[in-house]
Amino acid sequence: MHHQHLAPVHPFERTLLVLLVSMVQGENVTSAMNVKMLNVSYNSPFWDMLDQAIKLTQDMNGRISKLSTHFNGFYAKGRGFHNRIIRCHTSSLSRPENKEQAQNTGSEVLLKLARSLLQAWVNPLHHLWAEMGDKLGYTPYHLTKALEIKSINKKVLEAMKKIIREAKFALEENVNAPVWSELASLQSTNRDTRYFAFYTLFRCLGSDSRDVEMYLKLVKCQKVQSNC
């Protein structure tokens, strides 16, 4: 029997090999730790539900942007609304001030914050759809767009409840959702007051909805890629 002699490994090559193996093992350990922190495995329905929620929020944000742009072009143009102070009813929620802070916020906090924001817009979105026709004279086409936004928001909200349960996080029945109290302004007989109420609603809705999308993407990114 002939024995095959293996060529000796150069010390530099051996060092490089050990380094590469260590890096791969390190990445695997880091990924495993992240998933364990979320208390879900890679084959858990959590990830599919999270992906679906992200897609829904992206769809919702696209619709909000289009409807908001249309409103600004036809009703807010030339009124100087952009120079006024905007107060959103969700400003009372304690949340990250920017993306950098959100990146350093735990998954449970981000998921529950997203749920609170979605819940806070259930009532305003109902009235947005209900008042657009009477107070702005919107056609059925645009009323349908508002109804779609309202419907998607509720779908994402329901998805969030399942996602939080799947992650084994405590799911409180009573969500810490701020109350919207601008219906009187939305229905005002004063056109400037009424238009500014709609303008504020669109501005705040767009900002909060984009935050929801960011929070969900960060949860996925932090736990899958570990380098967001």
Which residues are documented as binding site?
213
Which long-range CB contacts under 8 A does 211-215 form with residues at least 24 apart? 211/95, 211/114, 211/117, 212/57, 212/114, 212/117, 212/118, 212/156, 213/54, 213/57, 213/58, 213/61, 214/99, 214/102, 215/102, 215/110, 215/111, 215/113, 215/114
CA of 125: how far to CAs of 131, 149, 185, in Å?
10, 8, 15
- Determine the Cα–Cα distance for residues 154 and 87; give it in Å rounded to an integer: 24
- As annotated, the binding site for Zn(2+) includes 213
